[in-house]
Amino acid sequence: MASGSRGTGTCAAAQADKGHTLEISVVSNEARAMHNVGLAGLTFWSPNINIFRDPRWGRGQETPGEDPLLTSKYAVGYVTGLQGAVSGAGALKVAACCKHYTAYDVDNWKGVERYTFDAVVSQQDLDDTFQPPFKSCVVDGNVASVMCSYNQVNGKPTCADKDLLSGVIRGDWKLNGYISSDCDSVDVLYNNQHYTKTPEDAAAISIKAGLDLNCGTFLAQHTVAAVQAGKLSESDVDRAVTNNLVTLMRLGFFDGDPRELPFGNLGPSDVCTPSNQELAREAARQGIVLLKNTGKLPLSATSIKSMAVIGPNANASFTMIGNYEGTPCKYTTPLQGLGANVATVYQPGCTNVGCSGNSLQLDAATKAAASADVTVLVVGADQSIERESLDRTSLLLPGQQPQLVSAVANASSGPCILVVMSGGPFDISFAKSSDKIAAILWVGYPGEAGGAAIADVLFGYHNPSGRLPVTWYPESFTKVPMTDMRMRPDPSTGYPGRTYRFYTGDTVYAFGDGLSYTSFAHHLVSAPKQLALQLAEGHACLTEQCPSVEAEGAHCEGLAFDVHLRVRNAGERSGGHTVFLFSSPPAVHNAPAKHLLGFEKVSLEPGQAGVVAFKVDVCKDLSVVDELGNRKVALGSHTLHVGDLKHTLNLGV
């Protein structure tokens, strides 16, 4: 689910935590195996848990999506899988790192670069949207490291902000580990942002703020001079060095012969095992999102004599593993995956995903489509379109890809299937509404086995169950400056807000969208209709009309309820189904229109039913963040959503 040598390059589905942790534990097994033969370290600066706030962000492909709760769950599962459960207090299998702290999601948009960008963020948005994944990573995941980002937040470089580092990460959240800079970010705050007058000042302010490790050479060059000038004490340096050395101790660096320690028996034979390669294929299968199906899918391999496989990503290999990639065991391209099932004819349609100028090759592509029983178009992006240091300016398919898609679809003699391979979303409204396009799938960057997984879904060997982790906006959204960090809409200016929680405009596809080859029915078994908070005697809200009460204190202790749902597979195929529980709170404190409370995945045979249970902690799950950044429990009517089901819960005092 995160970028890696064999996992999917984008989290394209909300999966159960256990499955995600299992996948990442395989990654950490291979990391230890490679370490044991001198080919890997043990500190992994991953995961990226920034919120995918804007669809144009080049690094959105590294993240699990736009929702704070989903990102928080992902962070904890990822970190737990990497760091493992090793005997000994605080021992680590691998040291994970949650990055980039905080409010970092502009890389290079129309000349605005991350190195000098000041993210102006309200306290409400900071605590409601940007901080929760990092808090979960530290508090619930016990991560070994947090990386501060390049950007400033409200005029301060994050790596020099004592409130954010010492105050929040180490003070409020009790980080057991070290705080690292992003690479050269201390140099950046001096040379690019001109935040301090001297390099010694930059070294001093960063270390005193709580920074322990500098990725780069800046602190090595200037810390001694900062101490000699009296700008920094040796005790400050000792603290930073201690935090770094303790992490090495927890990894076992000083415990003797590595072969005699936990995981010392792992080696090259534990890398690229058949089960690990199958896990890569399964991860890719589960990440595929079916967005449109007019009934032509799944395909029957026995009834297809010829298939046209067309598009700039139709024979993609390296593209499939996204960025920050490892070395794959082997590739199965879409063309290879499909060709293992039926006879294929291949045409790229464009010489590259940019599909500009003379690179469009329509004649050959349309001829292939016209003579085939079925056409599969594989389009989208690669790292030339979206990547670190490159944000997009458009949400349309790159270059002349839309013309390619339309021409091929119109020429196809049989069903035309559109497969979009990308990290970020696209405005494919024309394809969604076209009666010439029978089905649409989004596959993210699906990893080394992506082509096999695509074939598994198209031919019905696997019933798709992925869900979109981000909103797919129309091209008109690009009128909104990427640099506007506000999450909430502003009706007075027409600002539409961001992400499914706040966005008020039209969508191409919504967060959580995703179809199956079967259908699922939901039935509410039990949930309360009324709950009361037992406030302490003399509490102001017992005599006054309050929109909300504080989400902490004795009235929150043990205040929880269960929601039980019956989910039935009403179709003719077995399949997996992710059940999302949303809540729409009362309209106080500019609260989200709705927000995710939890998700569970079930697998059901045709006609089979199962019960899904959610435990809702009232003060944690039903609270909202007020204008000052404080968590409050909104009083009044809360609407719980599951699919088309709605249930009203009245919360009073």
**Would you state the pLDDT for residue 88?**
56
pLDDT exceeds 80 at position 44:
yes
Residue 18 is predicted with a pLDDT of: 47
pLDDT band at 7 (very low <50, low <70, confident <90, very high): very low
- The confidence band for 391, taking pLDDT boundaries of 50, 70 and 90, is very high
Region 269-290: mean pLDDT is 97
What is the per-residue pLDDT across 52-68, written as a single tens digit (0 to 9) for each? Answer: 999 999 999 999 999 99
Topology classification of domain 518-651: Immunoglobulin-like (2.60.40)
Check if CATH label 3.20.20.300 holds for domain 12-268.
yes
Give the residue-averaged pLDDT of 598-613.
98
**What distance in Å separates the CA atoms of residue 8 and residue 450, rounded to the nearest whole number?**
8
pLDDT tens for each residue of 558-588: 999 999 999 999 999 999 999 999 999 999 9
**Residue 24 pLDDT class (50, 70, 90 cuts):** confident
Judged against a pLDDT cut of 60, whether residue 9 lies above it is answered with no
Classify residue 436 by burial, with Cβ atoms within 10 Å: 0-12, 13-18, 19+. Answer: middle
Amino acid of residue 163:
D
Q: How many residues does the chain have?
A: 653
| Residues labelled as active-site residues | 182
Q: What is the mean pLDDT of the chain?
A: 95
pLDDT confidence bin for 23, thresholds 50/70/90: confident
The CATH class, in words, for 272-466 is alpha beta
Is the peptide bond preceding residue 578 cis, with omega within 30 degrees of 0?
Answer: no
CA 80/CA 149 separation, integer angstroms:
23
Other CB atoms closer than 10 Å to residue 562's CB: what's the count? 12
pLDDT of residue 504: 98
Beta-carbon count within 10 A of 253 CB: 12
Please state the domain extents for the chain.
Answer: 12-268, 272-466, 518-651
Closest CA to 595 of 149, 195, 188, 68: 68
pLDDT at residue 16, rounded to an integer:
40
Is the pLDDT at 259 greater than 90? The verdict is: no
Beta bridge partner(s), residue 442: 289, 420
Cβ neighbourhood burial of 321 (10 Å; 0-12, 13-18, 19+): buried
**pLDDT computed for residue 86 by the predictor:** 63
Amino acid 10: pLDDT: 41
SS3 call for 171: helix
Distance CA 575, CA 122 (A): 43
Secondary structure element (H or E) that encloses residue 576, with its range:
strand 575-584
Do the Cβ atoms of 8 and 444 come closer than 8 Å? yes
Give the model confidence (pLDDT) of 111-161 as tens digits. 999 999 999 999 999 999 999 999 999 999 999 999 999 999 999 999 999
**Is residue 2 pLDDT above 80, yes or no?**
no
Residue 31 pLDDT greater than 80, yes or no: yes
Provide the 10 A C-beta neighbour count for residue 653: 14
Compute the distance between CA of residue 618 and CA of residue 583 in angstroms, rounded to an integer.
11
DSSP string, 414-470: S-EEEEEE-SS----HHHHH-TT--EEEE--S--TTHHHHHHHHHTTSS------SS
